[in-house]
Structure 1
Amino acid sequence: MFGNILTGLVALIHCYIVYVEMVLWDTPRGHKAFNLKPDFASASKVLAANQGLYNGFLATGLIWGLYRGTGGFQIKMFFLLCVAVAGLYGGATVGRKILFVQTLPAVLAIIALWLGR
């Protein structure tokens, strides 16, 4: 139960990331969320939308796993592992904040799902 709640939270975080990357990237709110300069945001808008799409796939996979209930354990684990690995890479290449926003919630959900099995 608690693992599903955390998985849902990770899915919601990724839905928000999709929205920021695909819709708000080149706005003051997007600039603040990702610490962007306006000229860089404008030049990278298409790349950010593509990145947002991939985050949307992660959110969709997590929601699919939740929808499957107990039969979705492996689906949830796979997509949570993908989120955790993506967060580790982002934390190493972009900034440590990603470790707390993406990796930590995914790892906590993995642990909770595993313990609740």
Structure 2
Amino acid sequence: MNSLFAILGSAFVFLAALVHLMIFFMESVLFHTPRVQQIFGVRAQDAEIIKPWAYNQGFYNVFLALGAGTGLVLMGTVSMWPAGIALALFAALSMLLAAVVLITSQPKQMARPAIIQGAPPLLGIIFLVLALNVG
């Protein structure tokens, strides 16, 4: 295993988890604020209707972040390393695929959020796969 690639991959998976925690807080905790509603392009009159959806969506994001974080913790233990990398890769791939779904829903409007959501897990996956395959 290549340690440098493993460290880089872990750092990007960690960053991806932080991004998804931030999204969780915005969707599930701070959605009632005008600033967050503006970020998501929600009109004030629609916010109450959308709030339950956003709350639920936020928890999907926190679960992905927890999966990535748990994978990283397990990667730090010798006996659980294989399970950890599998979990970290699964969570990162789920995050990346969610970004793909986001950008395909409205390419012009969602390109920036999809890049913010998808670039860290993509880089994490690339480096973790390289760590496994480059001596």
Q: What's the TM-score, normalizing by structure 2?
A: 0.81
Q: Quick one: which of 43, 63, 77 aligns to 1:57?
A: 63
Q: Quick one: which of 92, 97, 100 aligns to 1:88?
A: 100
Q: After superposition, where does 1:19-38 map in structure 2 within 5 Å?
A: 19-38=25-44
Counterpart in 1 of 2:74?
A: 68
Is 2:23 the partner of 1:8?
A: no
Q: How many residues align?
A: 117
Deviation at 1:39, TM superposition (A): 1.5
Structure 1 residue ranges without an equivalent (≥5): none
Deviation at 1:53, TM superposition (A): 0.8
RMSD: 1.2
Deviation at 1:36, TM superposition (A): 1.8
Distance 1:40 1:8 in 2: 34
Q: What's the TM-score, normalizing by structure 1?
A: 0.93
Structure 2 residue ranges without an equivalent (≥5): 1-6, 76-80
Distance 2:37 2:114 in 1: 19
Is 2:94 the partner of 1:108?
A: no
Counterpart in 2 of 1:77?
A: 89
Once the two structures are superposed, residues 22-63 of structure 1 have per-residue CA deviations (whole angstroms, 9 ceiling, x without a partner) of 011121221232122111222110110000011111001001
Is 2:42 the partner of 1:39?
A: no
Identity among equivalent pairs (%): 32
Counterpart in 1 of 2:3?
A: none
Which has the larger Rg? 2
Deviation at 1:112, TM superposition (A): 1.2
Q: Which moved more, 1:57-66 or 1:92-101?
A: 92-101
**Larger relative contact order (Cα-Cα within 8 Å, sequence gap ≥ 6):** 2
**Partner letter of residue 46 of structure 1?**
P
